[in-house]
Chains A and B, each alone.
Chain A
Amino acid sequence: MKNAVSVSFKALFGEALLAIRANKIRSLLTVLGIVIGVAAVIIMIGLGRGAATRVTEQIQRLGSNLLMVFPGAAGAQVRGAAGMVNTLTWDDARAIARLPGVARVAPEISAGATAAWGSQTWVTSVTGTTPELPLIQNRPVASGRFFDEQDVRGIARVAVLGSSVVENLFPPGVDPVGQTIRLDKVAFTVIGVLSPMGASVMGRDADDIVYVPLSTAQVRLLGAGYVRLINVQAQTPADLERLPALITELLRERHRLPPHAENDFTVRNLAAVLEAAEAAAGVMTTLLAGVAAVSLLVGGIGIMNIMLVSVTERTKEIGIRMAVGATQQVILLQFLTEAVVLSLVGGVIGILSGVLASGLIPVLTGWPAAISPGAILLSVLFAFAVGVFFGYYPARRAAALNPVEALRYE
């Protein structure tokens, strides 16, 4: 006599479907926990992925191989925070430009200013820089041109406007190029408009900006000889790795810092900072998905609860099945199959709702949500595991029933 379980999986599956269909509403409610859990996992991972993608886009938008040099020591609170100290000069920027591996350098100085065209005024930010900046940021002009070396040398009163400034200063239909605007009462000729960038890195509107030549900004607007920031573009990623040390060495020498003195500037790889933010977003995603997974767990407990009730209710049925030759193993497999089918059905419905929601969220809220195959696979596996884990105990109870007592049960 054969000893193995000879019931096919197909037959077990059929019996499970029969049992599930016999109690439709209850099955549906049981499954709901899993549906919500799986959908939540998919949506959370989707939102996290979307956020990470957005950060990556921002890094690319920022310009590749980009370093930023700020004045002041990093985290030096006593002598003023980074960016508040006037230790960097245009000459520092020129010196950095001569370092090997440096592709382009663009020093910046910026301040708030009121822009006016006729009676229209708009408070914005004026940045003085050099013609390399749009090349570093990979940000072309939409119309007109960016200022060139000649404008910088000649301290020309020319301005390039961001699209938000154009929108707020000029009525529709007026071509800003060629117009004269006043920045803090100094007249400037608009020579170009930048192509819009969309929302920017730190939540600021990157299009709400006016660019003027660095020389002009220093002389006409701010009356200062320092710069607030030096953008440095490295030639290759390898150069990017090497440059911070070179720049540090160079600037320490130029600033005549004694060996034990702290740096009076900070070199930062902003992409690295954003990557850290991306990593933080990843942690957040994991946390959210973890919370969502908890609801999957709760759903699993729901399945266990219903399966336990079901085993009690169907004691007689189990007895009958045993009487006609179902082994304990088969009864165990049968109830386990039922739990797994329940949780997988919940998983599939959950995936559909999760994918649907991930498609709707960007439309409704503007948040990016990516649908990741990994998340779908993960939740299917998880749903399966929940079915097996929470189905096992009730199935064991069913299999352990004594056939005589089970048959006598009413």
Chain B
Amino acid sequence: MPVLRGVNLAVRAGEMLAIMGASGSGKSTLLNIVGCLDRPTGGIYRLEGVEVGSFSGTEMALVRNRKIGFVFQQFNLLARATALQNVELPLLYAGVPAAERKKRAAAMLAQVGLTGFEKHFPAQLSGGQQQRVAIARALVNRPALLLADEPTGQLDSRTGLEVLAIFQELHRETGITVLMVTHDAGMAHFCERIVYLRDGLVIGEEAVERPRRAAEELNGLQQAPECPAL
């Protein structure tokens, strides 16, 4: 039984888009196809105007390496590797020499606010920190497209906001295309456009007039008193 049954979706370069749907709606499958992890059994997927269906496995891997960054709900860091080694991984597969790899990975970790955590293993980091390592890894090869699958699903609301603040800042500053899959309407409203998916069909679409601003909400949280006054 096909998971996706008629998704006609165009994502513009530089867009920040949320795909919303309950579990089983096919949103993860859609993300896997967009991310070149999986091939559609039918239909056409074009990435930057090129049809991906004809790509070999190696070409798909190269697309994942150069053009796409993944952020997963489960972080998906290598447990045996340090934060720096995790971030280095895409560069390793891009054939970047060791010295440059380390430099770029360290710079990327600094960008997500993890200077000083280079030698830490994932188990030694909080969930938010792990997700930031994962974001650094997704972005270290300067992809054009960032794919996030429930990126805040494992995080408390504050850390979730921090992660979204990073996404929004990146999006604003580098113009990277962000495609986020979520079942949480609140999270979806951080994006400029929301596509609703149910049972493998696009059932609706919404342009968000004023997307939520994660950085501002975070500031609001910080100004709130630590404990409510009695």
Instruction: Mark A residues whose CB is within 8 Å of B.
Output: 1-3, 6-8, 10-11, 14-15, 18-19, 22, 316-317, 319-330, 402-404, 407
Nearest CB in chain A to that of B88: its residue: A11
Chain A hits for B70, CB < 8 A: 323-324
In the complex, the answer to whether B58 meets A18 with C-beta atoms within 8 Å is no
Given contacts A327-B62, A404-B32, 17 further A-B contacts (CB under 8 A): A1-B66, A6-B94, A6-B95, A8-B95, A11-B98, A18-B81, A316-B76, A317-B78, A320-B89, A323-B37, A324-B65, A324-B89, A325-B66, A325-B90, A328-B61, A330-B93, A402-B38
User: Which residues on the A side are within 8 Å of B66 (C-beta)?
Assistant: 1, 325
Residue from B64, B76, B95 within 8 A of A7 (CB atoms): B95
Is B167 an interface position by the 8 A CB rule? Answer: no
CA distance A241 to B204 in the complex (A): 103
- Bound-complex Cα distance A320 to B138 (A): 11
Instruction: Mark contacts of B33-69 with chain A using CB atoms, 8 A cut-off: 1 yes-contact digit, 0 otherwise.
Output: 0010110000000000000000001110111111000
Contact residues in B for A322 (Cβ distance below 8 Å): 37, 61, 64
Task: For B63, list chain A residues within 8 Å (CB).
Answer: 1
Q: A323-B64, A407-B72 are in contact. Are A328 and B57 (CB under 8 A)?
A: yes
Q: Would A3 and B141 count as touching, CB distance under 8 A? A: no
Q: Can you give 19 contacting A-B residue pairs, CB < 8 Å? A: A1-B62, A1-B63, A3-B62, A7-B93, A8-B97, A14-B98, A317-B78, A320-B77, A321-B89, A322-B37, A323-B76, A325-B62, A325-B65, A327-B58, A327-B93, A330-B93, A402-B38, A403-B38, A404-B32
Give the 3 A-B residue pairs with the shortest CB-CB distance, closest first.
A325-B65, A6-B95, A327-B61
Within 8 Å CB of A407, what residues of B?
Answer: 37, 72, 76
Residue of A nearest to B72 (CB): A407
Instruction: Tell me whether B32 and A10 are in contact (CB under 8 A).
Output: no
A397 to chain B, nearest CB (A): 15
Q: Which residues of the other chain, A, contact B76 by a CB distance below 8 angstroms? A: 316, 319-320, 323, 407
A264→B37 CA distance, assembly (Å): 89
Q: Is B85 an interface residue (CB 8 A)?
A: yes
| B80 contacts the other chain (CB 8 A) | yes
Closest-CB distance, B53 to chain A (whole angstroms): 16
Query: What number of A-B contacts does a CB cutoff of 8 Å give?
Result: 82
A325 to B80, CA, bound (A): 19
Q: Is B166 an interface residue (CB 8 A)?
A: no
Question: How would you classify the secondary structure of chain B's contact residues: helix, strand, loop or mixed?
Answer: helix
State whether A328 touches B58 (Cβ < 8 A): yes
Expressed in whole angstroms, the minimum distance between the Cβ of A109 and any Cβ of chain B is 81
Establish whether residues A22 and B89, one from each chain, have CB atoms under 8 Å apart when the complex forms. Answer: no
Task: Provide the bound-state CA to CA distance between A320 and B78, in Å.
Answer: 8
Interface centre among A1, A317, A329 (most CB of B within 10 A): A1
**Complex-state Cα separation, A14 to B37, whole angstroms:** 26
A11 to B38, CA, bound (A): 27
Separation in Å of the B37 CB from the closest CB of chain A? 5
Report the minimum CB–CB distance from B149 to chain A (whole Å): 10
Provide the bound-state CA to CA distance between A8 and B91, in Å.
11
With a cutoff of 8 Å between Cβ atoms, the chain A residues found around residue B37 in the complex are: 322-323, 403-404, 407
B137 on the interface (CB 8 Å rule)? yes
A14 vs B72: C-alpha distance in the bound complex, in angstroms? 26
- Residues on A with beta carbons closer than 8 Å to the beta carbon of B80: 18-19, 22
Inter-chain contact B95/A325, CB cutoff 8 Å:
no
Query: CA separation between A11 and B99, bound complex, in Å?
Result: 11
Does residue B92 face the partner (Cβ distance < 8 Å to A)?
yes
Q: A325-B90, A327-B57, A407-B37 are in contact. Are A2 and B62 (CB under 8 A)?
A: yes
- Chain A contacts for B58, CB-based, 8 A: 3, 327-329
**Which residues of chain B have C-beta atoms less than 8 A from A7's C-beta?**
92-93, 95
From B59, which residue of chain A is reached at the shortest CB distance? A1
Among A324, A403, A404, chain B packs the most CB atoms within 10 A around the CB of A324
What B residues does A321 contact at CB under 8 A? 78, 89, 93
Q: What are the residues of chain B within 8 A of A317 when measuring CB–CB?
A: 78
Q: In whole Å, how far is A80's beta carbon from the nearest beta carbon of chain B? A: 79
Measured CA separation A11–B89 after assembly (Å): 10
Return chain A residues, CB-CB under 8 Å to B98.
Answer: 10-11, 14
Taking CB atoms, residues of chain B closer than 8 Å to A326 are: 61, 65, 93
The 0/1 profile, CB within 8 Å of A marked 1, for residues 178-213 of chain B is 000000000000000000000000000000000000
Residues of A within 8 Å of B64, CB to CB, are 322-325
A403 and B63 alpha carbons, distance in the complex (Å)? 14
Docked pose: A2 CA to B94 CA in angstroms: 10
Q: Are A404 and B38 in contact (CB under 8 A)?
A: yes
Tell me the minimal C-beta distance from B113 to chain A in angstroms: 21
Among B59, B70, B76, B78, max chain A CB count under 10 A is at: B78
Contact A324 B93 (CB under 8 A): yes
A407 to B63, CA, bound (A): 18
A337 CB, nearest partner CB in chain B, Å = 13
Q: How far is the CB of B15 from chain A (nearest CB, A)?
A: 22
Are A325 and B141 interface neighbours, CB within 8 A? yes
Q: How far is the CB of B63 from chain A (nearest CB, A)?
A: 8
**A148 to B25 Cα, complex, angstroms:** 113
- Nearest Cβ distance between residue B203 and chain A, in whole angstroms? 24
Contact residues in A for B85 (Cβ distance below 8 Å): 18
A73 CB to nearest B CB, Å: 77
